[in-house]
């Protein structure tokens, strides 16, 4: 299927217009015309080769909102004209224990396959949402409730579910003290969710300029992580901390803030290993954990929760001619708090 979008030809090349072929739709597929796509820091990590598993040319983008243009004969939940959304994965085996338990992202038979920068079981390459169309099996397509802000919903497909899932898993809620590290695309949604779930939320940031925003977004307290005295005030007091930072940072400083049996969960994926002093987790029998996006059922639950509770991302709508500039700004920590590409600016040259 003919498609047009923006691709990186190598890890040092800027993103540029590119015409390419997608796999042909089959009876299980939904075809979307894309309206909006968020810019996730994972897009930048992969385009720049931070994780060392990149396939070029790469069309990034896994926070996708669009309209259905065609459905295969086996598709039951969508018809042409419907709004629909696609997130970070587009394939898993669907029969292993984890898939059957709605945890497709942890598929144990061949693994989940990413929306872009991946190869499917049939050998075809995946290309993401910085493009005009996408073909996706119905199982990996989500419904959207009417009346929502579509552009500001796009980031929920990755940043939203990646923070919603661990906050639910570790029981963020009333009478729990929850920390969020990093007020970026993921972090600001983690803050909104933890607040909506009724937890006492402490936002950690390195950016003084974000303190007022953090309070407006629902933080009960904001801590400048560069201030050791401010950090020390929270020693051994947290039930749960979610680490949303995209770059290497001092883990021991945050682990010291967990109380007995509490967990720090990493969702950020820096390009370099993080170091941990074993004493930091031996003390207080602490746990260090990780979490990857979330399953399809939970992603739908999160989207419905957001529609019902009026939760969307804080976005800066941008255009394809400013895509490379947007990447530079994310790397400079200069976005409040998620760029979303407006596909009306995607014009075939
Ligand atoms: P982002 O918007 O760039 O936010 C990252 C935040 O981390 C920044 O806003 C900043 O917050 C903080 N930060 C940046 N550089 C830092 C440094 N050198 N030291 C300390 N703090 C720093 O990125 P994002 O899109 O939210 O993604 C965050 C990470 O999650 C990325 O690594 C991404 O690949 C990963 N991710 C993982 C999953 C998953 O399934 N686990 C899914 C999506 C994304 P402050 O200014 O507040 O300090
Ligand atoms: Zn992402």
User: pLDDT (tens digit, 9 = 90+) per residue, 50-78?
Assistant: 999 899 999 999 999 999 999 999 999 99
Rounded to the nearest angstrom, the distance between the alpha carbon of 60 and the centre of ligand 2 is 10
- Over residues 248-305, the pLDDT tens digits come to 999 999 999 999 999 999 999 999 999 999 999 999 999 999 999 999 999 999 999 9
Q: Residue 73 — φ and ψ, nearest 5°? A: -70, -20
Rounded to the nearest angstrom, the distance between the alpha carbon of 42 and the centre of ligand 2 is 5
Cβ atoms of 224 and 205 within 8 Å: the answer is yes
Residue 28 CB-density burial (10 A; 0-12 exposed, 13-18 middle, 19+ buried): middle
Cβ atoms of 144 and 85 within 8 Å: the answer is yes
- Over residues 27-45, the pLDDT tens digits come to 999 999 999 999 999 999 9
Give the position, in ligand 1's atom list, of the atom nearest the Cα of 183: 47
| SS3 of residue 90 by DSSP | strand
Q: Best mutation site among 45, 181, 245, 328 for ligand 1, i.e. most ligand atoms within 8 A of its Cβ?
A: 245
Task: List the one residue out of 246, 269, 244, 267 whose CA is nearest residue 53.
Answer: 269
- pTM metric for this prediction: 0.98
Sequence-separated (6 or more) residues with CB below 8 Å from residue 173? 197, 198, 199
Q: Would you say residue 313 has pLDDT above 80?
A: yes
Rounded to the nearest angstrom, the distance between the alpha carbon of 279 and the centre of ligand 2 is 32
Instruction: Pick the ligand that lies closest to the CA of residue 269.
Output: 1
Rounded to the nearest angstrom, the distance between the alpha carbon of 251 and the centre of ligand 2 is 22
Give the position, in ligand 1's atom list, of the atom nearest the Cα of 338: 2
Task: State yes or no: cis peptide before 337, omega within 30 of 0.
Answer: yes
| SS3 of residue 290 by DSSP | strand
Residue 276: its H or E element:
none
pLDDT value at position 214? 98
- Extended strands (E) in the chain: 2-7, 16-21, 29-39, 64-71, 83-86, 89-91, 113-114, 133-137, 141-143, 177-181, 200-205, 221-224, 238-243, 258-266, 287-290, 315-318, 338-342
Ligand 1: residue whose CA is nearest its atom 36: 268
Q: Would you say residue 349 has pLDDT above 60?
A: no
Share of the chain above pLDDT 70, in %: 100
How crowded is the C-beta side of 46, counted as CA atoms within 13 Å? 24
- Where does the pLDDT of residue 123 fall: very low under 50, low under 70, confident under 90, or very high at 90 and above? very high
Is the Cβ atom of 268 under 6 angstroms away from ligand 1?
yes
Rounded to the nearest angstrom, the distance between the alpha carbon of 113 and the centre of ligand 2 is 14
- Where does the pLDDT of residue 347 fall: very low under 50, low under 70, confident under 90, or very high at 90 and above? confident
Which pairs count as long-range contacts for 225-230, CB under 8 Å and 24+ apart, including other chains? 225/181, 225/253
Q: Would you say residue 124 has pLDDT above 80?
A: yes
**Residue 22 DSSP symbol:** P
Q: Where are the alpha helices (DSSP H) in 222-339?
A: 228-232, 251-255, 278-282, 296-309, 323-331
pLDDT value at position 109? 98
pLDDT value at position 40? 98
Mean pLDDT to the nearest integer, 234-256: 98
Degrees (nearest 5) of the Cα angle 246, 250, 251?
A: 90
Is the Cβ atom of 205 under 6 angstroms away from ligand 1?
yes
Q: Best mutation site among 183, 205, 244, 270 for ligand 1, i.e. most ligand atoms within 8 A of its Cβ?
A: 244
């Amino acid at each position: 299927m003919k498609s047009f979008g923006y691709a990186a030809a190598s890890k040092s090349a800027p993103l540029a217009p590119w015409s390419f072929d997608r796999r042909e739709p089959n009876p299980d597929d939904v075809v979307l015309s894309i309206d909006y796509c968020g810019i996730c820091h994972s897009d930048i990590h992969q385009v720049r080769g931070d994780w060392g598993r990149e396939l070029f040319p790469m069309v990034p983008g896994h926070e996708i909102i669009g309209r259905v243009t065609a459905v295969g004969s086996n598709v039951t939940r969508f018809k042409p004209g419907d709004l629909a959304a696609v997130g970070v994965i587009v394939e898993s085996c669907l029969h292993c224990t984890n898939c059957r338990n709605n945890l497709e992202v942890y598929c144990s038979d061949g693994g989940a396959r990413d929306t872009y920068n991946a190869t499917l079981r049939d050998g075809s390459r995946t290309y993401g949402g910085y493009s005009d169309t996408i073909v996706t099996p119905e199982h990996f397509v989500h419904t959207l409730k009417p009346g929502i802000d579509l552009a500001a919903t796009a980031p929920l497909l990755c940043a939203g579910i990646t923070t919603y899932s661990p906050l639910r898993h570790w029981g963020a809620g009333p009478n729990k003290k929850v920390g969020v590290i990093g007020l970026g695309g993921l972090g600001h949604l983690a803050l909104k969710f933890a607040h909506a779930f009724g937890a006492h939320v402490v936002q950690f940031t390195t950016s003084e300029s974000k303190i007022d925003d953090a309070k407006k977004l629902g933080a009960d307290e904001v801590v400048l992580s560069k201030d050791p005295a401010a950090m020390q005030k929270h020693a051994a007091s947290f039930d749960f901390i979610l680490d949303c930072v995209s770059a290497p940072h001092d883990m021991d400083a945050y682990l010291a803030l967990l109380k007995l049996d509490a967990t720090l969960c990493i969702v950020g994926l820096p390009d370099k290993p993080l170091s941990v002093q074993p004493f930091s987790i031996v003390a207080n029998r602490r746990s260090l954990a990780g979490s990857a996006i979330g399953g399809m059922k939970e992603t739908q639950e999160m989207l419905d929760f957001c529609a019902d509770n009026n939760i969307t991302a804080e976005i800066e709508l941008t255009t394809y001619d400013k895509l490379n500039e947007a990447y530079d700004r994310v790397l400079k920590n200069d976005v409040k708090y998620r760029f979303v590409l407006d596909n009306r600016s995607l014009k075939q040259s």
